[in-house]
């Protein structure tokens, strides 16, 4: 029963949050921006990894950059249309961002170090968003 | 510690499942097919809803069809590249499919009834996939 | 033969443009930003259209908002990874943006008027990008 | 004037083709299936390329697999909702498929040879679709 009420109220509140309170809209906006920024950085990093002398060493980075960019664009799309599932997507997005950031942090290339920073920042934004809307 | 081991082992096992055992690959394949089928049905239903005489009554259905098609295409893409996050996406996908199926089931139009059935079947496949890979 | 050379040179030049000249990178960046902004605005407009009293009147607008948001996110993704097909996608994107902007311009709601403006601006950016990279 | 009429009639005819004649619907269905199949194969090939001993040699293949999978999923989505821009997306999709198929054909690995075949078949389907709907 508590779970049912939770299930019915959550999307309603998320919608209200976005439409009614300016602060909440700001929260969405800030998370969309973080996701777009992260998607761009991962795309750039993945491309740069493919041009490294030793690509084999970067294979896991390339995989995670690809997944991370994909889920970030998806999260941005769900948030931008105020979907009731935005928080669920952001929760997964935070996990992917952290995994990608952790992998990137292991490589000393500039594009990886930069990407690690942006990924971790995006993970934080996504978690905040998911908590506010949950 | 248990959680950490879980976190490290899960993606590894998911990858192994897909690459090594034919049954598991079949499981992936079957879930990808269900997601593609569901995405197509939701796209068709959403389009048909927009052409109904009373579109206002179908607004929530159109919203959910759109979200459901989007997450289904996304889940199919993550599974098809054997991403370690496939199970996480499938878990969210199952929730969206159920919500979309429940909404569609309320409307008597053929396209909605058909879509409800396909959505619930896809939710089942996604949950199975997420459980196997988790 | 001219066509063959064109086909071989185009992607190379697009890549060079992005990587070598700062102005060209700026061009990409500006077009990515326009696409992201347009995708967000179309998502917002489509959602607002679904909440209008007379949704039937907005059906075509909802369809185009959905297509336009989709192709804009796609174009942004292709550009952000410096894909050799970025210009081709941008050319299609410009057509979709113009169609969406023209439809939105017919409706007096604020969200449609705003969306029309953003769509036409994005169409211009995409055409410029496609011409530079072609 | 001829161009204007062309522009107005094309989407109308594409819609009619899909909704009215069963053959045309079959045509769409067959092209959607080809795109989904190609997206899956490119995802598989790209992943296998990343696990090769010499990844550097496969860099261009990985890039094209990624672009090809992306545009194929996108084309499938546009066709499945009967979008008036389906033909335009399919035209670009055919180009990307051909480029990816040509690159894959250069590598002797099974996954590349298989992918080359599927890509070229999808390019043919997309061109047929674009011509029918144009």
Asked whether the beta carbons of residue D76 and residue B81 sit closer than 8 angstroms, the reply is no
Q: What's the CA gap between B54 and B108, in Å, rounded? A: 13
pLDDT tens by residue, C16-72: 555 544 445 666 899 999 999 999 999 999 999 999 989 999 999 999 999 999 999
Contacts of D54 in chain A (CB under 8 A): 56
* Nearest residue of chain C to residue D62 (CA atoms): C83
Q: What are phi and psi of A6, to 5 degrees?
A: -55, -45
pLDDT at A59 over 50: yes
- pLDDT at position D22: 46
Q: Is C10 on the interface with D (CB under 8 A)?
A: no
Cα A45–chain centre separation: 16
Alpha-carbon distance A42 to nearest alpha carbon in chain D (angstroms): 14
Q: Which of A77, A81, A92 sits opposite B85 (nearest CB)?
A: A92
Q: What's the CA gap between C25 and D134, in Å, rounded? A: 34
pLDDT tens by residue, D33-76: 999 999 999 999 999 999 998 999 999 999 999 999 999 999 99
pLDDT band of residue C97 (cuts 50, 70, 90) is very high
- pLDDT at position B86: 96
Q: What's the CA gap between A81 and C40, in Å, rounded? A: 7
- pLDDT at position A15: 56
Contacts of B66 in chain C (CB under 8 A): 66
Cα A29–chain centre separation: 13
D6 versus B33: the higher-pLDDT residue is B33
Q: Do the Cβ atoms of C56 and B53 come closer than 8 Å?
A: yes
Asked whether the beta carbons of residue B85 and residue A66 sit closer than 8 angstroms, the reply is no
Report the Cα–Cα distance between both ends of chain A, in Å, rounded.
Answer: 17
Query: Running DSSP on this structure, what letter comes out for residue B20?
Result: T
pLDDT at B91 over 70: yes
- pLDDT at position A23: 44
Q: Which of A47, A56, A66 sits opposite D55 (nearest CB)?
A: A56
- pLDDT at position C32: 97
C115 versus A3: the higher-pLDDT residue is C115
pLDDT at A88 over 60: yes
Asked whether the beta carbons of residue D67 and residue C83 sit closer than 8 angstroms, the reply is yes
Placement of tokens 């992260």 in the chain: A38
B131 phi-psi bin (left φ>0, alpha ψ -120 to 50, beta other): alpha
For the beta carbon of residue D70, count every other beta carbon within 10 angstroms. 24
Q: Do the Cβ atoms of B71 and B60 come closer than 8 Å?
A: no
The per-residue pLDDT of chain A, averaged, comes to 87
pLDDT at C90 over 70: yes
D102 versus B27: the higher-pLDDT residue is D102
pLDDT band of residue A24 (cuts 50, 70, 90) is low
Dihedral sign, Cα of residue A126, residue A129, residue B1, residue B4: negative
* Nearest residue of chain A to residue C46 (CA atoms): A81
Cα A34–chain centre separation: 7
Dihedral sign, Cα of residue A9, residue A84, residue C120, residue C24: positive
Nearest to D132 by CA among D37, D7, D23, D3: D23
Q: Is B14 on the interface with D (CB under 8 A)?
A: no
pLDDT at B121 over 70: yes
pLDDT at C14 over 90: no
A6 versus C99: the higher-pLDDT residue is C99
For the beta carbon of residue D53, count every other beta carbon within 10 angstroms. 7
CA distances from D114 to A45, B7, D71, D104 (A): 29, 34, 19, 9
Size of interface A-C (CB pairs under 8 A): 46
Q: What angle do CA D33, B85, C74 make, to 5 degrees?
A: 50
Q: What are phi and psi of C21, to 5 degrees?
A: -85, 130
The CATH number that domain A2-133 falls under is 1.20.1270.360
B98 versus B27: the higher-pLDDT residue is B98
Give the pair of three-digit tokens for residue D18: 């899909």
Determine the average pLDDT of the residues in D23-32: 75
- The CA radius of gyration of chain D, in Å to the nearest whole number, is 16
Q: What's the CA gap between A64 and A3, in Å, rounded? A: 34
Q: What's the CA gap between B10 and B8, in Å, rounded? A: 6
3-state secondary structure D30-61: HHHHHHHHHHHHHHHHHHHHHCCCCCHHHHHH
pLDDT at C125 over 70: yes
Q: Is C1 on the interface with B (CB under 8 A)?
A: no
Asked whether the beta carbons of residue C51 and residue B62 sit closer than 8 angstroms, the reply is no
Dihedral sign, Cα of residue B8, residue B13, residue B14, residue B19: positive
C1 versus D133: the higher-pLDDT residue is D133
D102 versus A22: the higher-pLDDT residue is D102
- pLDDT at position C28: 87
pLDDT at C113 over 50: yes
Residues 28-67 of B with CB under 8 A from A: 63, 66-67
For the beta carbon of residue D108, count every other beta carbon within 10 angstroms. 7
Work out the percent of chain D whose per-residue pLDDT is above 90.
75
Residues in chain A: 134
- pLDDT at position D28: 87
The per-residue pLDDT of chain C, averaged, comes to 87
Q: What's the CA gap between A75 and A1, in Å, rounded? A: 29
């Amino acid at each position: 029963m508590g779970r049912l009420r939770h299930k019915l109220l959550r999307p309603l509140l998320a919608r209200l949050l976005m439409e009614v309170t300016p602060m909440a809209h700001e929260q969405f906006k800030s998370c969309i921006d973080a996701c777009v920024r992260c998607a761009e950085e991962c795309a750039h990093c993945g491309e740069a990894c493919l041009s490294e002398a030793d690509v084999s060493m970067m294979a896991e980075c390339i995989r995670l950059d690809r997944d991370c960019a994909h889920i970030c664009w998806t999260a941005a799309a769900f948030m931008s249309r105020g979907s009731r599932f935005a928080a669920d997507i952001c929760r997964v997005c935070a996990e992917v961002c952290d995994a990608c950031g952790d992998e990137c942090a292991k490589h000393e290339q500039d594009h990886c170090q930069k990407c690690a920073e942006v990924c971790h920042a995006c993970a934080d934004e996504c978690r905040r968003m998911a908590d506010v809307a949950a």
